Structure 1
Amino acid sequence: MPTAATSIYYALVVAWGASFYQFYLRDVFTTTLGLGRVVQDIGEFPYDCRRIVHPRLEACEDMWLDNEGRVLYAACAGTEARVNWCQAADKFNVSARRPGASELIALDIDEPGVEGMYNLRSIRPMGYTGAQGDGDDSFDLLGFDAEVLDGDTIQFYFVNERPPVGPFNNHIDASVVGINSTIDVFEMRRGEEVMRHLRTILSRAVHDPNRVAALGQGEFVVSNFHSAKTGWRKKLDFVIGGGSVAFCNVNGDCHTAVSGDEPDEILSANIDPQPLYKEYLNKALSVLPKTKLKLPNGLTRGFDNLIYVPSSVDGQIRVYAINSHSLLQQIDTVYTGMPLDNISPDARGDLYVAGFPDIRATVKGMADPTNLDVPSTILRIRKTVDLERKKVDYRVEKVLEDREGKIVSGATTVRHDVRTGRLWMGAAVHPYIMVCDPR
């Protein structure tokens, strides 16, 4: 017969195991791995979808839609290049980069043309000398953002995964030191096919950049997907959490912006002029527990001037306000139930985000994107503010899903065109972009 001490020991082990499952493993199984998740067929949704296949539309990880100019911009790296050169996936074969590296492709979304290529053209960089040692103006694009400065000027903020170089401009082993990531800012006039380089931002606070969110006046925030460029700490991020968000000013000075402090000036930023909404935010600050980032992916700035940071592990979208110290303070959390990639607002302010309903299939598809189709989900998050009840709600709705990846496969970004209702989607590694027209 077990002693009282033994009984207590086993009881504690069972209790600990139950707690561990309740607070960690259950979330991993149901949210991250999606065990038991019902994934729908694309035919169940009111869209007619197709792929647009072209060698220059391969591995278009991110997109930005100029709603007024009616032009979609896509950052495309090439499938073969992406599966061999991507810090987030620990791919460091510099010799496999595409000749000429990445391109910013422009599509006139209202003019499909005879071949359905939407007047596809490349926006050529000017005044940029490329990665040191490359000898050309090539760059390696990942996520990006843009803002319209006036009626004709657009400013782009690109994540640029440049090869690291040694003292004599020779490439060095990126698997050891990591990729030499920078944020490069360009400017162009609507209707032109060139963009002029303005500045390059290099900072220790921007070590594994994934996507930029422009804030105006040359400032931006950027998500770091991992906590380190290489090594075991990076590999453990998926399990124990990791990653960060950095803030950079117009002078290129950057710092880690997610802080555990709660400064009094939290609402001094231009969040919302309505006093009752500010009262809601103050209340949220006092009761909402801060949660550790878990592979923060393609963040964005909403029309409410809040920063939305999706997670590729726990399916949460953490909502942050920026204070007068340029730090981020978490004020809300949106639960979606699946790993996420890039999130973007449409012209109405609704947020659209690409999700991974089967993360295991996603990982396999990234290794062989030419032959494997990957299930994809598109979610819409609609925010409502009840000023009388001092309450904010986020309604998460599945607007499109492709269980077999028949057409929408491996989507990592989505842009919703309010005027036509179309969904434009890009993929980090797959050799096409996708578009869905509402029936």
Structure 2
Amino acid sequence: MYLACAGTIESRTAWMPTLDALNATAVLTRSTADYLATYDTSTGAITKLAVRGLSDPRGLNLHGMDVVPDELDPTMLWIYLVNHRPEPESPHKGANSVIEILKTRVGADYVEWVQTVEDAHVIVTPNDIVGANNGKEFWFTNDNGAKVGIRRYIDALFWLRTTFVGYCHITHGCKRASIHLLGSNGIVRASDGSFWVGDYRNGQLTVHKPNKDKTLQHVATVMTGLPLDNLALSADGSIIAAAIPKVHLLSDAMNNRSSNVPSTVLRVPNATLGGNYKVEKASYPRIVPFFQAGAG
């Protein structure tokens, strides 16, 4: 299992653009940088991965990620990362967010940087990402309609649909790939190739059919009743969603890292286009410090 890790809890609370934490000075002078790691589910061992070839002195400032086996060689893995690069003016202008493409081999203790993809008009507030198996293209959610400013608060107050899924190809560029959505957060590709997007405001799961031009056609909405964070595809074809029953407590967690915020897990079995969707909830919420659980 591959992980995108914050160097410390303190650095995450200082720098997390999705929650308006924009202390660029703190993140640029932090003692421990964000890093990639593998987690061995059988032994519990965590291995920090060296990053080769990335020359940007700001390094990695991690959020969403995806790891995809290569289309021809399944031992080679493509890694797609959301990188919220800090700049001195970030408190007023927001993060300089980009997508990093890296590659590695199964079992390797390092990753190799391949390319940085940036587009200020489409890669606005990236959160989560789905990569292709060719190392050349990806889809991602923008979780806000603006990086900073009053527009973010207006969007939240009136529940405006200003977020969207973007698409980029390293040769052909980037474009908006979806209709405007409410509170886009996690994104995952289902076993039939459809795309599912989670909503952190009112708990919608929107289902999208991919078009030939790489845009996404909204075909269904599944109401879960809980604000959603990351999504994942399980081996049996179910969509697994991390959910936050008391999302209003997140602001407290930003200022008090010992604050406990409930989290839980939802499951949508048979997650394919045209299915009769049913949302299954965990029998009880697990109480963990929010930034220990991981914000994304």
Contact kept in structure 2, 1:312 and 1:339, CA below 8 Å: yes
Q: Identify the match of residue 212 of structure 1 among 129, 134, 147.
A: 129
1:255 is aligned to 2:255: no
Shift of 1:306: 0.8
Alignment partner of 1:410 out of 287, 290, 294: 290
Say if 1:300 and 1:344, in contact at 8 Å, map to a contact too.
yes
Name the CA distance, whole Å, in 2 between partners of 1:332 and 1:120.
Answer: 39
Relative to structure 1, the CA distance from residue 391 to residue 296 in structure 2 (aligned partners, 3 Å threshold; closer, same or farther) is closer
CA distance in 2, matches of 1:248, 1:367: 35
Match of 1:189 in 2: 105
* Per-residue Cα deviation, 1:18-55 (whole angstroms, up to 9, x for no partner): xxxxxxxxxxxxxxxxxxxxxxxxxxxxxxxxxxxxxx
Single out whichever of 342-351 and 392-401 deviates more from structure 2. 392-401
What percent of counterpart residues are identical? Answer: 29
Q: One-letter code of the match for 1:119?
A: A
1:334 alignment counterpart: 222
| Aligned pairs (5 A) from 1:1-400 | 72-77=1-6, 78-97=8-27, 98-111=30-43, 118-131=44-57, 134=58, 138-149=59-70, 150-164=73-87, 172-204=88-120, 205-217=122-134, 218-238=136-156, 239-241=158-160, 242-251=162-171, 253-259=173-179, 292-369=180-257, 371-383=258-270, 392-400=275-283
Alignment deviations for residues 239-294 of structure 1 (CA, whole Å, 9 cap, x no partner) = 332211101113261111114xxxxxxxxxxxxxxxxxxxxxxxxxxxxxxxx511
Taking the aligned partners of 2:283 and 2:146, their CA distance within structure 1 comes to: 34
* CA distance in structure 2 between the partners assigned to 1:384 and 1:207 by the alignment: 29
Question: SS at the partner of 1:298?
Answer: strand
Q: Measured at CA, do residues 332 and 174 of structure 1 come closer, stay the same or move farther in structure 2, by a change above 3 Å?
A: same
Q: Deviations over 1:215-254 (max 9, x none)?
A: 3332210100000111111222223322111011132611
- The structure carrying a bigger helix percent of its residues is 1
Deviation at 1:79, TM superposition (A): 1.0
SS in 2 for 1:95: helix
Runs ≥4 residues deviating over 4 A: none
SS of the residue aligned with 1:393?
A: coil
Q: Distance in 2 between matches of 1:293 and 1:321?
A: 15
1:141 shift after superposition: 0.6
The amino acid that maps onto 1:248 is C
Distance 1:256 1:121, change over 3 A: same
Q: Distance in 2 between matches of 1:324 and 1:221?
A: 14
Asked if the contact 2:2–2:67 (Cα under 8 Å) also holds between the matched residues in 1, the reply is no
Please state how far the C-alpha of 1:402 moved relative to its aligned partner.
2.5
d(CA) in 2 for partners of 1:341, 1:302? 17
SS in 2 for 1:375: strand
8 Å Cα contact 1:76-1:105 kept in structure 2: yes
- In the TM superposition, what is the alpha-carbon distance from 1:95 to its structure 2 partner? 2.3
| TM-score relative to the length of structure 2 | 0.91
User: CA, structure 1 residues 301+210, in 2 after alignment: closer, same or farther (shift >3 Å)?
Assistant: same
CA contact (8 A) 2:140 2:167 kept: yes
Question: Structure 1 residues 324 and 380 mapped into 2: Cα distance closer, same or farther (>3 Å)?
Answer: same
SS at match of 2:178: coil
More strand per residue: 2
Are residues 188 and 252 of structure 1, via their aligned partners in 2, closer, same or farther at CA, if it must alter by over 3 Å?
farther
Report how many aligned residue pairs link the two structures: 287
Q: Indicate the larger mover: 217-226 or 235-244.
A: 235-244
Higher RCO, Cα 8 Å, sep 6+ = 1
**How far did residue 346 of structure 1 move?**
1.1
Unaligned runs of 5+ in 1: 1-71, 112-117, 165-171, 260-291, 412-424, 430-439
Tell me, which stretches of 5 or more residues in structure 2 are unaligned?
Answer: none
- Summarize deviations over 1:365-393 as a string: whole Å, max 9, x none: 23312x211111111111267xxxx9521
